[in-house]
Amino acid sequence: MQENGSVKKVNEPYLVDALSFTEAEARIIEEQTPYISGDFSVSAVKRTKITEIFKDDKGDRFYLVKVAFITIDEKTAVEKRSISQILVQAGDFKSAFENFLEGMKGSMADYEIVSISETQILDVYYAPHLAGQKPASAE
């Protein structure tokens, strides 16, 4: 509802940790219903390539960190890079970088940050029994 009383249609992306598209749609409806007056619908549900999420409850934004994990093929001695996408919650770009480094602290893997970009994701809904698994996104 806008200040002048008219209703404005909006599209808001959320990330939902779910086992199926049906579960993702049901969970986002359940989570959003208390905050929405009037009709609303889920316009799209799609899989993401996000492999991990680093939470920071002080942060109000979500940043996508594309990271290249570097391995060496022992037979050919050729360097291989595999790209992963990690979602990092933070208040700003600098905090996103720092939170990413903190999240990677115990890792033995060699990696290189390819990019960090702010996403349009407004919130992430975690399933307690699915922590750490690949989430689906709902829009």
Residues 86 and 114: beta-carbon distance below 8 Å:
no
Tokens of 117: 């970009």
| Burial category of 86 from C-beta neighbours within 10 Å (exposed 0-12, middle 13-18, buried 19 and up) | buried
**For residue 10, pLDDT beyond 60:** yes
What's the pLDDT at 76?
87
What's the pLDDT at 131?
47
Strand partners, 11: none
pTM above 0.85, yes or no: no
Q: What is the DSSP letter of 122?
A: -
Strands (E), the chain: 14-16, 45-47, 50-54, 61-72, 79-90, 110-118, 124-125, 136-138
- The 10s digit of each residue's pLDDT in 18-75 is 889 999 999 999 888 888 877 788 889 999 999 999 999 999 999 999 999 999 888 8
- The 10s digit of each residue's pLDDT in 88-116 is 999 999 999 999 999 999 888 899 999 99
Tokens of 71: 């391995």
Compare 30 and 118 and report the one with higher pLDDT.
118
